[in-house]
Amino acid sequence: MSRKAAALAAALATSGYFALAYYFAVSHTPDVPRRDDVAVIPRILRTGTPGTFYAHLWLPNHVKSAIVYENGVCLGDANAVYDDPNRTMTRDGKRWKYVEFNTKGEHARRWIVFPLR
């Protein structure tokens, strides 16, 4: 192998390495924290208002407010947290609640953080 070909192969390998490193750094999304005051949002549902979505979650009875996170970035306070009127069952101090918030609706990891009393 000539010197010129070896230099070209090294340059291509180096540029490929840094391109992959940049891609993985940009596309990485942090894992959802595992704490008692965090609830994962497995799916979101549309409302009649553009840009407003809601999630149906099993939350403690005392939760009246929440902070919404998307891919590790805080979106701010939820618009509303209210009880599901169709499911009045309560068990272990929890019940089904709706959490309404604003987002673009793209595929992302979402979770809420709520006060622990």
**Cβ-based neighbours of 12, under 8 Å, separated by 6 or more:** none
pLDDT for 24 equals: 82
Q: Is the pLDDT of residue 111 over 70?
A: yes
**Cβ-based neighbours of 58, under 8 Å, separated by 6 or more:** 39, 94, 95, 96, 97
CA 75 vs. chain centroid, Å, equals 10
pLDDT tens-place string over residues 32-77: 788 888 998 888 999 989 999 999 999 999 999 999 998 888 899 9
Q: Is the pLDDT of residue 27 over 80?
A: no
pTM exceeds cut of 0.75? no
